[in-house]
Amino acid sequence: MKIKNICCIGAGYVGGPTMAVIAQKCPEINVTVVDINEKRIVAWNDEDVENIPIYEPGLSDIVKEARGRNLFFSTDVDAAIDKADMIFISVNTPTKTYGIGKGMAADLKFIELCARQIARVSKNDKIVVEKSTLPVRTAEALKNILDNTGNGVNFQILSNPEFLAEGTAVQDLQNPDRILIGGDIDTAEGLDAVQALVDVYAHWVPEENILTTNVWSSELSKLSANAFLAQRISSINAMSELCEKTGADVDEVAKAVGMDSRIGPKFLKASVGFGGSCFQKDILNLVYISKSFGLTEVADYWEQVIIMNDHQKRRFASNMVKTLYNTVSGKKIAILGWAFKKDTNDTRESAAIYVTDYLLNEQADVVVYDPKVKAEQIYVDLEYLGTHSSEEIRNRVKVVNTAEEACKDAHAVSILTEWDEFKNLDWKAIYENMLKPAFLFDGRRLLDRKTKEEIGFEFYSIGGY
């Protein structure tokens, strides 16, 4: 089977870049990305490609190349489903905020809505691809809905989890370590569907890097990969606290540990804590699934990764307060960086949100600068936590356009995102314009020992030195 028309439901951080790259690499396939959020679609169609709603290095060039040729963005979900041979589901799956599994399980209501819509609209056989990260065995539920509410057409369900990281999404899509495709490999129809998706990726990915498995292995592999990655960060962050107490330097420890080829050097950077839309959500999901099978030890083991991460954010903030003579009430504190990591405008679960919330509890006046995040997003993130009223947040938190402005007359500055531009600031000049003694809290170990010693800051770096 040759795929001619692809539809992707969800024009977010995953759906948008993934479909842009598929369209770029497969010029003979028409790719339509649909979303119920009209504003988002309007932005994807903005004449000026620099205004597309997601910032990813290299993405606007690809959109410029493919948009209007074989890449389309639309709100007409029914029409796109009807036309497609293959439908990717790329809608968000947040942690449930209500009912059974509240705070742990993935909320699948959007997935179910998509399945019902696909079933209602489809008049010919289709391949449905789970792109969103889902709890294991969701494909089974999807299949039930499709088969029982559809018009008698056949659906094949594939799992094709995304491993792209934000900030390097385009690079990760163009040169993936592997592509994982799970399907019903025990039947001829299932194998055909798997092959159809393999053929799409084979336009640019070497076949030996395309793994095919059964559906459940694929779904579980995605949760496992994110849990393993997050576990490495929590492991090094646990060591960072010990380093601070003992005088060891966590980067030196990480280097020594990572040079063991069995361990490897990546994902060992101590930080104020991991953020992003995936790690916490996927681990909570894994914990929930384990508990639901009665696997208490397995659940507790993985939950510890989250407990450590929450501890890291809290102890960083409380350390700021302690160092500033146990009070930040009415003090001006500059926050540099709001995104959960550099090179993205995404702020989901960013450590900056939690650190700022803690500082607001202590009545600090916070001034934020981030090169890519809009002021309104910062307010929405804080309001979403529900700890402080919208009025208090807007009174106490100011958002400015430069790092220098954020730090002027501040008592302390805290680096929470590792944006490259923060490395190259004129730190001496910033220091001169701050109140003395001026404190710098480096949650990303961005400034090295030399810079630290050359300036007059009272300096705290997560993980010691």
Residues present in the chain in total: 465
Q: Pick between residue 269 and residue 396 the one whose CB is nearest to ligand UDX.
A: 269
Among 25, 67, 126, 269, binds ligand UDX (CB under 6 A): 269
Question: Which residue among 30, 93, 240, 414 contacts ligand UDX (CB under 6 A)?
Answer: 93
Measured at the CA of 234, the angle between CA 231 and CA 240, to 5 degrees, comes to 145
Q: Residue 295, SS3?
A: coil
For residue 39, CA distances in Å to 69, 117, 372, 462 come to 22, 21, 19, 40
Name the region of 160 (left: φ>0; alpha: ψ -120 to 50; beta: rest).
beta
| Span 337-376, contacts to ligand UDX by CB under 6 A | 340-341
Within 13 A of 210's CA, how many CA atoms are on the CB side?
Answer: 18
What residues are paired with 71 via a beta bridge?
31, 67
Stretch that binds ligand UDX, among 6-14, 140-148, 187-195, 400-408 (CB under 6 A): 6-14
Contact region for ligand UDX (CB under 6 A) — 24-32, 161-169, 299-307, 388-396? 161-169
315 binds ligand UDX (CB under 6 A): no
Look at phi and psi of residue 276 and say left if phi exceeds 0, alpha if psi is from -120 to 50, else beta. left
Q: How far is the CB of 90 from ligand UDX (least distance, A)?
A: 5
Please tell me whether residue 259 adopts helix, strand or coil conformation.
Answer: coil
Burial of 424 (0-12, 13-18, 19+ CB in 10 A): exposed
Least distance from ligand UDX to the Cβ atom of residue 325, Å: 29
Return the range that interacts with ligand UDX (CB under 6 A); candidates 31-39, 208-216, 365-373, 446-454: 31-39
Over its C-alpha atoms, the chain yields an Rg (Å, rounded) of: 24
Contact criterion met (CB below 8 Å) for 164 and 14? yes
Nearest to 85 by CA among 146, 121, 114, 127: 127
Least CB distance to ligand UDX at residue 242 (A)? 17
Number of residues counted as binding ligand UDX (CB under 6 A):
41
Q: Which stretch binds ligand UDX (CB under 6 A): 273-281, 292-300, 306-314, 425-433?
A: 273-281
Q: How far is CA 129 from the centre of its chain?
A: 20
Cβ atoms of 138 and 111 closer than 8 Å:
yes
- Return the number of the residue (176 or 183) whose C-beta is nearest ligand UDX: 176
- Of the ranges 156-164, 190-198, 307-315, 433-441, which one interacts with ligand UDX (CB under 6 A)? 156-164
Closest CA to 55 of 358, 388, 340: 340
**CB of residue 429 to ligand UDX, shortest distance in Å:** 27
Which of the residues are catalytic?
Answer: 162, 222, 278
Closer by beta carbon to ligand UDX, 101 or else 275: 275
Could you give the CA distance from residue 103 to residue 101 in angstroms, rounded to a whole number?
Answer: 6
Do residues 74 and 66 lie in contact, with contact meaning Cβ atoms separated by under 8 Å?
no
Q: Does 79 bind ligand UDX (CB under 6 A)?
A: no
- Residue 1 or 43 with smaller CB distance to ligand UDX: 43
Token pair of 40 as six digits: 């988002």
- Two tokens, residue 427: 């730190």
Q: Among residues 165, 226, 160, which one has the least CA distance to residue 193?
A: 160
Task: Please tell me whether residue 305 binds ligand UDX under the rule CB under 6 A.
Answer: no
- Could you give the string, one character per residue 399-438, with x where binding to ligand UDX holds by CB under 6 A and - elsewhere? ----------------------------------------
- Determine the residue with CB nearest ligand UDX: 12
With CB under 6 A as the contact rule, the residue among 58, 110, 314, 404 that binds ligand UDX is 110
DSSP-derived 3-state class of residue 264: coil
Decide: is 90 part of the binding site for ligand UDX (CB under 6 A): yes
Both tokens of residue 386? 């529900």
Interacting span for ligand UDX (CB under 6 A) from 80-88, 90-98, 195-203, 317-325: 90-98
Q: Does 13 bind ligand UDX (CB under 6 A)?
A: yes
Q: Which of 95, 133, 138, 218 binds ligand UDX (CB under 6 A)?
A: 133
Say whether residue 116 binds ligand UDX (CB under 6 A).
no
- One of 164, 181, 324, 406 touching ligand UDX (CB under 6 A): 164
Q: Which C-beta is closer to ligand UDX: that of 277 or that of 290? A: 277
Token pair of 103 as six digits: 């705070």
For ligand UDX, the closer of residues 271 and 290 by Cβ is: 271
CA–CA dist 255, 463 (Å, integer): 13
Residue 226 makes contact with ligand UDX by CB under 6 A:
yes
- Alpha-helical (H) ranges within 202-342 are 215-246, 250-258, 279-292, 296-323
Select from 229, 397, 406, 410 the one that contacts ligand UDX (CB under 6 A).
229
Query: Which range of residues in 276-284, 356-364, 381-389, 396-404 is near ligand UDX by CB under 6 A?
Result: 276-284
Can you tell me which of 158, 193, 200, 233 binds ligand UDX, judged by CB under 6 A? 233
- Across the chain, which distance is largest between two alpha carbons, in Å? 74
Please give the Cα distance from 304 to 321 (Å, whole number).
26
- Residues found near ligand UDX in the complex (CB under 6 A): 9-15, 35-37, 40, 90-93, 110, 113-114, 131-133, 162-166, 226, 229, 233, 267-269, 271, 274-279, 340-341
